[in-house]
Structure 1
Amino acid sequence: MSNSAKNNGKRWDDNDIKILQELAAGNTPTRLIALKLGRTPNAIYSEAGEMGISLRPNNQSPYNRQTK
């Protein structure tokens, strides 16, 4: 089984970037974004970094604090 994605080496178009922004805003895991866009997780990280899109989950406490 090949480890390459169907869009490997293909340029990012406006539609791909729009989908990336929507999925990242919806707190979708990076691996799932990669599957939906047909790209590798590294390609997702790279493009998100270039576009200034945050892939960090926005629903987690930054210090893993627990209440007693």
Structure 2
Amino acid sequence: MAKKTAKKIGRREYTSSDVKLLRAHSKARTPVPKLSKLMKRSEGSLRQKARTIGIGLGHQR
């Protein structure tokens, strides 16, 4: 039997256009799951990046 190997996770850097898009969607209060599909990144990744650049993401209470 052949042993299955785990798929390697490829990391992508955030480009300046990615950050610009993230800021625009933050202002528009786009839901994170929708933004995740749009940008093809995980929700956790988006939340983490938003926190590092100091913006809110999703619904702000």
Specify if TM > 0.5: yes
**Aligned residue in 2 for 1:54:** 56
Amino acid in structure 2 at the alignment position of 1:22: A
**Aligned residue in 1 for 2:31:** 29
Q: Aligned residue pairs: how many?
A: 52
Question: Could you tell me how far 1:56 is from its partner in structure 2?
Answer: 4.6
Distance 1:56 1:31, change over 3 A: closer
SS at match of 1:10: coil
SS at match of 1:16: helix
Instruction: Give percent identity, aligned residues only.
Output: 19
Q: Under a length normalisation based on structure 1, what TM-score does the superposition of the two structures give?
A: 0.69
Moved over 3 A (4+): none
**Aligned residue in 2 for 1:20:** 22
Structure 2 residues not aligned, in runs of 5+: 1-9
Structure 1 residues not aligned, in runs of 5+: 1-7, 63-68
CA RMSD of aligned residues (A): 1.4
